C-alpha cells in the first residue's frame, strides 16, 4: 500500500500527521507538490477542513477523498503532477485537483477524466465546495479541536510565512503570473499577527516566502497599519524589522526567500548585521544569469555588473551574510561566450549556496518562441560545468568554517543519536546540513545550540556540541 504524505512525499516527509479519527469522522488525504508557497496553500486548505470537522488521513486507504495540490511551473513538474493524480486515483478513487496546474483544467481532465473537480491556485472556497460535494462534513464541536496555529505540514519548529501572492514581472520563461495573477500583498499587521501566533506555538524558524519578496506592499502603495503601539508600513524593510523583533537569535530565526536585488534591498542589510535581531544574514536571490544579453532575452529586472557591486556593498555592511541563488543554463540564444561570462561571474560573486536548472520549454511561456534553442547535449555539458564550479566554491567556503563556533538548529535526531542540523546559512530542504554524530544527549528537535565545526565536505559540515553548551545543559 502506498502512503500519502509522510513516507511518500519528500516535501512532507517529516510532517506530523496521524491516522487517529473519531467514529464516523470524514477524512481527507493531501498530496502537496511544488514550492513552499504551494505548501502554505495546502496548510490553509487542511486548516479550513479541520475546522469543519474533517480528519487528516496519513494514507490513501484511510481517506474518504484525496486532494492533490499540483505544480505547473515546468513541463517536468506537470508530468509529476499528472503522475501523482493518477496514483491517487488508483489508490483511492476520489480525487480533487487544485494548485498551479489547475489553471489548465482541460489538460488535467484530458489525462484523468475521472477526477472529481479541478480548481486553480489559492482557490480555497472552490476546493472546500468540491470536498463538501464528495464527502459531506460531519463536525463535532466537542471533539474536533483545531490547534491555534492551524494544520502544519512542516516539522513543528519551522514554518513558512507567505506574505504575498502573484508577481508583476513578465519574465519570458515563467508563467506564474498567468497562473497566480499579479502581486497581491497581505497587510503587514495580518502577517505579523500570524508570525506572532506561530512563535507563541513553538516555531523557532520563520521562512518568509512570496513570488517577489522585495516587491512586497507595492500593490498596496506601502499602506500603514497599526501594530502594537505603532504604525507599520506594508514594506519589506518594515516587515523584516518587526519580524526580527519577535525573538532573539537564541530562540528565533527569520529567513528571507525570493528577494530580487532592487536598490532598496540594501536597507535590509544593516538589519541583518544587528547581533540582537532574529533576522538572519541570509538572502535567497534568483539571479538566473549574469550576462546582460541573456538577462534581456529573459526580460529579467537585473544586470550582472551592477549586481556584483551590490553584493560587495552587502558584504561590506554584513560580512557574515549568506547569499544563495538559482540559475538557468541553456536558455534560448545562450552562446558559449555568455555561458563563460556566467562562470567568470561566479568566480567573482563567490555565492555561498547555488542551484542550477537546465532550460526547458513550458507551455504558454514566451521564451518558447525565441530563436536559437540550445541542444540538449550542450545544456547538459553547461550544467555539469556550472555545478563543478559551484561545488568547488561551496567546498572552499565550508572548509573555511572548520574550527569556527556556529549556532545551529536541530532538525532531526535519529535512533543512533546522530543529529541533523542546519546553520544560519542553510534553509531547510534546499541547502546543506550540519551533522553531530556524538554527544547529542539532551538535545531535542527544534533546539538552537552552539557547535564547534570539525569537518567539512562539498555541501555539508560536521561538528560537536561546544563545551560551553554542554556545561549550560
Q: What is the pLDDT of residues 179-238, one digit of tens each?
A: 778 999 999 999 999 999 999 989 999 999 999 999 999 999 999 999 999 999 999 999
Angle, to 10 degrees, between the axis of helix 376-399 and the axis of helix 336-349? 10
- Helical packing angle, 304-317 and 336-349, nearest 10°: 10
Binding-site members are 35, 71, 100, 167, 171, 174
Distance CA(277)–CA(270), nearest Å, equals 10
Residue 7: the pLDDT is 35
**What backbone phi and psi angles, to 5 degrees, belong to 60?**
-65, -45
Distance CA 371, CA 349 (A): 30
Catalogue all structural domains in the chain, each as residue range(s) with its CATH number: 10-134 (3.40.50.12160), 158-399 (3.80.30.20), 405-472 (2.40.50.140)
Cα–Cα distance measured from residue 203 to residue 158, given in angstroms and rounded to the nearest whole number: 5
Range with lowest mean pLDDT among 311-320, 357-366, 389-398:
357-366
Distances, alpha carbon 412 to alpha carbons 31, 173, 421, 445, in Å: 23, 37, 7, 6
Over the stretch 384-416, which tens digit does the pLDDT of each residue have? 999 999 999 999 999 999 999 999 999 999 999
The whole-number pLDDT of residue 149 equals 54
* Most distant CA pair in the chain, distance: 68
Q: What are phi and psi for residue 294, nearest 5 degrees? A: -65, -45
pLDDT at 13 over 60: no
What's the pTM? Answer: 0.80
Phi and psi dihedrals of 259, rounded to 5? -100, 115
Residues listed for the chain:
473
Q: Which conformational region is residue 260 in: left (phi greater than 0), alpha (psi within -120 to 50 degrees), or beta?
A: beta
CB 162 within 8 A of CB 211: no
Which H or E run includes 109? helix 105-111
List pLDDT tens digits, range 141-177. 544 444 555 666 778 899 999 999 889 988 999 888 8
Partners of 97 in the beta sheet? 68, 118
Annotated binding residues for [4Fe-4S] cluster = 35, 71, 100, 167, 171, 174
Residue 6 has pLDDT above 60, yes or no: no
> Mind listing the pLDDT tens digit for each residue in 72-97?
877 888 899 999 999 999 999 999 99
Q: Work out the burial of residue 106: count CB atoms within 10 Å of its CB; fewer than 13 is exposed, 13-18 middle, 19 or more buried.
A: exposed
32-86 pLDDT, tens digit each? 888 888 888 888 888 888 878 888 887 888 899 999 999 887 788 889 999 999 9
From the list 460, 464, 438, 461, the residue with the least C-alpha distance to 449 is: 464
Of the listed ranges 141-150, 215-224, 430-439, 453-462, the one predicted with least confidence: 141-150
Strand partners, 434: 421, 461
Nearest to 338 by CA among 383, 286, 294, 384: 294
Amino acid at each position: 500500500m502506498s502512503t500519502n504524505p509522510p513516507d511518500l512525499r519528500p516535501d512532507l516527509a517529516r510532517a506530523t500527521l496521524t491516522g487517529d479519527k473519531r467514529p464516523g469522522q470524514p477524512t481527507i488525504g493531501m498530496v502537496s507538490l511544488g514550492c513552499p508557497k504551494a505548501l502554505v496553500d495546502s496548510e490553509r486548505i487542511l486548516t479550513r477542513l479541520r475546522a469543519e470537522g474533517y480528519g487528516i488521513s496519513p494514507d490513501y486507504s484511510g481517506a474518504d477523498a484525496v486532494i492533490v495540490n499540483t505544480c505547473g511551473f515546468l513541463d517536468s513538474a506537470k508530468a509529476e503532477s499528472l503522475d501523482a493524480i493518477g496514483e491517487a486515483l488508483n489508490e483511492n478513487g476520489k480525487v480533487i485537483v487544485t494548485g498551479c496546474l489547475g489553471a489548465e483544467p482541460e489538460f488535467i481532465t484530458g489525462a484523468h477524466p475521472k477526477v472529481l473537480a479541478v480548481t486553480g491556485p489559492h482557490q480555497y472556497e472552490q476546493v472546500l465546495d468540491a470536498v463538501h460535494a464528495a464527502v459531506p462534513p460531519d463536525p463535532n464541536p466537542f471533539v474536533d479541536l483545531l490547534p491555534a496555529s492551524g494544520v502544519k505540514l512542516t516539522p513543528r519548529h519551522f514554518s513558512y510565512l507567505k506574505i504575498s501572492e502573484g508577481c508583476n514581472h513578465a519574465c519570458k520563461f515563467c508563467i506564474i503570473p498567468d497562473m497566480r495573477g499579479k502581486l497581491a500583498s497581505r497587510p503587514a499587521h495580518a502577517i505579523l499577527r500570524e508570525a506572532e501566533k506561530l512563535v507563541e506555538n513553538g516555531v523557532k524558524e520563520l521562512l518568509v516566502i512570496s513570488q517577489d519578496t522585495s516587491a512586497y506592499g507595492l500593490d498596496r502603495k506601502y499602506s500603514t497599519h497599526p501594530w502594537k503601539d505603532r504604525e507599520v508600513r506594508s514594506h519589506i524593510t518594515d516587515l523584516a524589522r518587526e519580524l526580527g523583533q519577535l525573538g532573539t537569535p537564541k530562540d528565533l530565526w527569520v529567513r528571507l526567500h525570493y528577494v530580487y536585488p532592487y536598490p532598496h534591498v540594501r536597507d535590509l542589510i544593516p538589519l541583518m548585521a544587528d547581533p540582537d535581531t532574529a533576522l538572519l544574514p541570509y538572502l535567497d536571490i534568483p539571479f538566473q544569469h549574469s550576462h546582460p544579453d541573456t538577462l534581456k532575452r529573459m526580460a529579467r529586472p537585473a544586470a550582472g555588473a551592477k549586481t556584483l557591486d551590490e553584493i560587495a556593498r552587502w558584504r561590506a555592511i554584513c560580512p557574515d551574510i549568506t547569499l544563495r541563488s538559482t540559475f538557468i543554463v541553456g536558455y534560448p540564444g545562450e552562446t558559449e561566450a555568455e555561458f563563460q561570462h556566467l562562470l567568470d561571474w561566479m568566480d567573482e560573486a563567490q555565492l555561498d549556496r547555488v542551484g542550477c536548472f537546465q532550460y526547458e520549454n513550458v507551455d504558454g511561456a514566451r521564451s518558447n518562441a525565441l530563436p536559437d534553442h540550445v541542444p540538449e547535449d550542450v545544456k547538459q555539458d553547461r550544467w555539469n560545468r556550472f555545478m563543478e564550479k559551484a561545488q568547488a566554491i561551496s567546498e572552499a567556503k565550508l572548509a573555511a568554517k572548520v574550527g569556527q563556533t556556529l549556532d545551529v538548529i536541530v532538525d532531526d535526531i535519529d535512533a543512533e543519536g546522530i543529529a541533523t542540523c542546519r546553520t544560519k546559512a542553510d534553509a531547510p530542504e534546499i541547502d546543506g546540513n550540519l551533522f553531530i554524530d556524538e554527544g547529542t544527549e539532551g538535545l531535542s528537535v527544534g533546539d538552537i545550540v552552539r557547535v564547534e565545526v570539525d569537518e567539512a565536505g562539498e555541501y555539508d559540515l560536521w561538528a560537536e556540541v561546544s563545551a560551553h553548551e554542554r556545561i549550560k545543559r
